[in-house]
């Protein structure tokens, strides 16, 4: 098991790598002509990369939710992805609704 310092170091490395990946994704989506599609894709990528969830039910350690959902689906069976997958999908749908509201509000200006 990781010590607290190793845990924080791992999160720091992950966040640095995720920021680099998000910046590269931002540059790739910059060429898309549809503004709404760009916003939805960027917000979705941000939620997937940066949403944490509890890695174990009885511990306080967090990990990226998509990794927990994928690991549990592969290691324990397809019905176990729900523990981290449902919160991730909930936040994704909430972010999608906020993106729609934000896009409509900006378009009316």
| Domain encompassing residue 36 | 4-107
- Please report the pLDDT score of residue 106 as a whole number: 87
Position 67 pLDDT exceeds 80: yes
Q: What is the dihedral sign for C-alpha 77, 21, 89, 84? A: positive
Question: What band does 69 get if pLDDT is binned at 50, 70 and 90?
Answer: very high
Residue scoring higher pLDDT (105 or 59): 105
DSSP per position, 6-73: HHHHHHHHHHHHHHHHHHHHHHHHTT-S-HHHHHHHHHHHHHHHH-EEESSTTS--EEEHHHHHHHHH
Q: Residue 109 pLDDT > 80, yes or no?
A: no
The reported pLDDT for the residue numbered 55 is: 87
Quote the pTM value: 0.86
Statement: residue 24 has pLDDT above 90: yes
When divided into structural domains, the chain yields a total of 1
């Amino acid at each position: 098991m990781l010590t607290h310092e190793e845990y924080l170091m791992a999160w720091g490395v992950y966040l640095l790598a995720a920021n680099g990946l998000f910046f590269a994704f931002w540059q790739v989506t910059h060429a898309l002509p549809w503004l709404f599609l760009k916003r939805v894709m960027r917000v979705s990528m941000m939620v997937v990369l940066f949403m944490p969830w509890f890695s174990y039910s009885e511990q306080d350690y967090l990990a990226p939710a998509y990794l927990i959902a994928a690991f549990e689906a592969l290691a324990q069976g397809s019905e176990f992805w729900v523990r981290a997958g449902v919160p991730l999908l909930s936040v994704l749908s909430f972010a999608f609704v906020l993106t729609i509201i934000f896009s409509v509000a900006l378009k009316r200006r």
